[in-house]
Amino acid sequence: MKFQEPDFNQSPHARLRSSPLQACRGVLVGLGLITAMLNVLYLTGSFFMLEVYDRVVPSRSVPTLIGLAALVGALYSFQAFLDILRGRILVRIGEWLDRAFSARAYDIVARWPLRARASGDGLQPVRDLDQVRSYLSGLGPTALFDLPWIPFYLAICFLFHPLIGLTASIGSLLLVSLTLLTNRLTRERTREVTGQIAQRNALAEASRRNAEVLQAMGMRGRLAARWAEANDSYMATQRSAADITGGFGSASKVLRMVLQSAVLGVGGYLVIIQEATAGIIIAGSILASRALAPVELAIAHWKSLIAARQSWKRLQQQWAQLPAEVEKTPLPPPCKALAVEAVSVAAPGEQVAVVLDASFALNPGQGVGIVGPSASGKSSLVRAVVGVWGAARGKVRLDGAALEQWSCEALGRHIGYLPQDVELFAGTVAQNINRFEPAPDAEATIAAANAAGVHQMVLRLPQGYDTSIGEGGAALSAGQRQRIALARALYRDPFLVVLDEPNSNLDAEGDQALTQAILGVRARGGIVIVVAHRTSALAGVDQLIVMAEGRVQAFGPKDALLAKMMQPRPAVPLKIVTEGANP
């Protein structure tokens, strides 16, 4: 089974045409042929009844009955085979969909927080893909394949007798009307349910991440109340949508039974006036029921269809807003300079810049510390330097090449980054240091640990470098996590190393190891940027940037700037005013 591979670099309109169904249209043509054969085989029961009542019973021929039974058994066996085959093909279409689009969905999950304000459920793209795959792998698409065959069954009913065909047609129109009404009433509610699920999940995930705070400060009950409120809203909307779908589903079942009885009644009348036979009564009733079965099945799965359509639409919108990275010409490893040219930075999804026109340049072997009060733009600036946040204006260059000229994977090999909020991944210590390389270099892993001064610390862990640290590094202390993250930043000797508050959780020994690591990067010709509030983190740098209100206020040799900053400010003379004196 061969599918057309999706092209994520198409225009939004072209991508809209390349829906998951169109992308595997060759297989769907085969499914259409299987459906055609199945719908012809669905006539087996009706014509068997017709032959039994109109031929076998009047003739009382046992051999004819046996022959018909054998033929019908063979046809039913073939029908079962085709039905199983169609179901398995649909499951494999869902599997192909997951393989073809899951990497792109993960890409959106990983990159979206860097381009837009985080809101709702961060895993929504993955859930949307699961929704589409689940629908395509279920019974919903079979109803869509069978719907075009309704006129075929109605035409046979008209061949039996115009009154039977008219009765079946009226029932079909009523059921189709129910389907359209179901769509109209559930579409908006399904969209609301998706948003409320995202809000509820985001709150639950935030509570899980901050479990210690909730426990220590007695906030669990208050957050539980907020979660219960969000959950109640979700359940109310879900209940409303389920009531509509369930109500129309039950109505469609009752209507189908009423129609079946109506066809029997019309058939009975036709037999009385001698315009039809008993076999036509039974066959017409079965055909009318079969004609309406796809509509009933479509109504039962309509909610899933609407959810899948909305999920696919959201995925396409996000793919259009965040195109896949295109392959870029490989550049030589940087080794000459870092230049920040009039860079202004805004947080993802925001319009107000938090860093304005920052400029500085560093050469190999230099290290710069960035200091300033809280909210002065220090962390925002270094996020732009490593390419985490895009610059709203200006350029960051390595050896003259703007960061945009590098692919993410290629640039990452030359950058070491220790963020302010340290995050490790579930895995071993070695995997976290070697950045989960498929074929890691053990010597490079140990060299990075030695450069960060954590080799002996790692050896004291239960399984050394093979110790599993749990989700987020839960098995380690905050200081251990920070030092292992430092080793990760130093893995394979990157040219540019950026450390944001690298000693916030370190003791004196850790501070000393940090200083040696910074000096080691400079000694091998690398560039180091250190954001710090504690001056002990600046021991290994030779340059200093002072920031305030989002702007670089000063840039120059560290010792000179620190000496200037430490100079006492001249005292402002106080004027003492006695009561009643003129000021």
Q: Looking at the predicted structure, is the pLDDT value of residue 579 above 60?
A: no
Share of the chain above pLDDT 90, in %: 35
Predicted confidence band of residue 3 (pLDDT cuts 50, 70, 90):
very low
- Show me where the domains of the chain are located: 19-187+250-319, 333-414+494-583, 415-492
The CATH classification of domain 19-187+250-319, taken from the options 1.20.1560.10, 3.30.450.30, 2.60.40.10, 3.40.50.1000 = 1.20.1560.10
Across 228-237, 283-292, 522-531, the highest mean pLDDT is recorded for 522-531
| Token output for 433 | 């240091």
What is the pTM for the complete model shown? 0.74
- Summarised one tens digit per residue, pLDDT across range 516-561 is 999 999 999 999 999 998 888 899 999 999 999 999 999 999 988 8
Residue 15 carries which side chain, given as an amino acid letter? R
As assigned by CATH, the class of the 333-414+494-583 domain is alpha beta
Q: Do domains 19-187+250-319 and 415-492 have the same CATH topology?
A: no
Torsion of CA 403, 405, 409, 410, to 10 degrees: -100
Share of the chain above pLDDT 70, in %: 91
- Summarised one tens digit per residue, pLDDT across range 145-189 is 888 888 888 888 888 888 888 888 888 888 778 777 877 777 777
- Summarised one tens digit per residue, pLDDT across range 107-151 is 888 888 887 776 666 788 888 888 888 888 887 888 888 888 888
Q: Where are the alpha helices (DSSP H) in 362-507?
A: 378-385, 408-412, 429-433, 442-451, 455-459, 478-490
* Average of per-residue pLDDT across 353-359: 94
* Average of per-residue pLDDT across 434-448: 93
3-state secondary structure 254-318: HHHHHHHHHHHHHHHHHHHCCCCCHHHHHHHHHHHHHHHHHHHHHHHCHHHHHHHHHHHHHHHHH
* Average of per-residue pLDDT across 62-80: 92
Q: Looking at the predicted structure, is the pLDDT value of residue 13 above 80?
A: no
As assigned by CATH, the class of the 415-492 domain is alpha beta
CA distance 364 to 337: 6
CA distance 400 to 393: 17
CA distance 483 to 127: 35
Instruction: Please give the pLDDT value at position 346.
Output: 93
Instruction: Please give the pLDDT value at position 491.
Output: 95
Contact 342, 396 (CB under 8 A): no
* Average of per-residue pLDDT across 366-377: 93
Q: Looking at the predicted structure, is the pLDDT value of residue 256 above 70?
A: yes
Instruction: Please give the pLDDT value at position 212.
Output: 65
Instruction: Please give the pLDDT value at position 574.
Output: 42
* Average of per-residue pLDDT across 332-342: 95
CA distance 106 to 83: 34
